[in-house]
Amino acid sequence: MENITISKLNYWKVHKKKFAAITAYDFSFAKLFSNQGVPVILVGDSLGMTIQGNSSTLPVKVKDIEYHTKAVRKGAPNVFLLSDLPFMSYYETKIALKNTAKIIQSGANMIKIEGGKWLIKIIKELSERSILVCGHIGLTPQSFNYLSGYKVQGKEKNDANKLIEEAFLLEEAGIKMLVVECIPALLAKQITENLSIPVIGIGAGSNTNGQILVMQDLLGITEGKTPKFSKNFLSESGSIQNAIQRYIKEVKNSLYPNNMYSY
């Protein structure tokens, strides 16, 4: 695989070339995903649930993200690698800078943080130091308790307008990519079309620039109830490799997510 950079992702947005992304947490899967042509991998704090067996992402520590980032980078040296800053690891600028440095030094190209207006100062400080930042709005799993669970966000007009405003403010502050999670497809389309940066959707319809899935959801090995937007690509593919190829193809051709997997 060619080396994937933020410039390449911006080029794809301008030329309306959709791309697939996936979470990974170890060397072996990162290598497999990279070899199949996945250009973007996220070391997500979802590892708190998928790897550690917790009921939420909240127990994940910075050292956990560092460890898994190092492993994934070894397996996928040329992908564009995002890593989450976990819960309460960026509540003020000084702390955010310290923890970001650890994760970038572990091999990430970009860090991802959840939230809206309150992040503006932190994003500006990170961006001024040439650190690539990805925002995350809509359903933000680190706000699990505040949101009273995992629910679709932005269904009401006022809530939708707030998310649109936050997206603009975050881009103005300096984010270079945005993840929108569990929001109506039409709202995601509006945000994507009005931002100049790549927008990745998860449970946000097919009109974003990219799509991301948790690898366990994509492979149909998630325990318990799965989100509406998750699709088991392995069930009809015969192998993990074929499942990843099918996922990439369906994203590129706007076949996934269709209405069945959207809000």
pTM of the entire structure? 0.96
Residue in 66, 114, 125, 181 annotated catalytic: 181
Rounded distance between C-alpha atoms, residue 38 and residue 42, angstroms: 11
Written as tens digits, the pLDDT of the chain (263 aa) is: 899 999 999 999 999 999 999 999 999 999 999 999 999 999 999 999 999 999 999 999 999 999 999 999 999 999 999 999 999 999 999 999 999 999 999 999 999 999 999 999 999 999 999 999 999 999 998 875 655 556 789 999 999 999 999 999 999 999 999 999 999 999 999 999 999 999 999 999 999 999 999 999 999 998 877 889 999 999 989 999 999 999 999 999 999 999 999 99
Compute φ and ψ for 112, nearest 5 degrees: -120, 135
**Structural domains in the chain plus CATH codes:** 6-261 (3.20.20.60)
3-state secondary structure 48-96: HHHCCCCCCCCCCCHHHHHHHHHHHHHHCCCCEEEEECCCCCCCCHHHH
Task: Give, for 162, the enclosing helix (H) or strand (E).
Answer: helix 157-173
Rounded distance between C-alpha atoms, residue 111 and residue 126, angstroms: 10
Examine the residue annotation and report whether 181 is marked as an active-site residue of this protein: yes
Closest CA to 3 of 107, 76, 69: 76
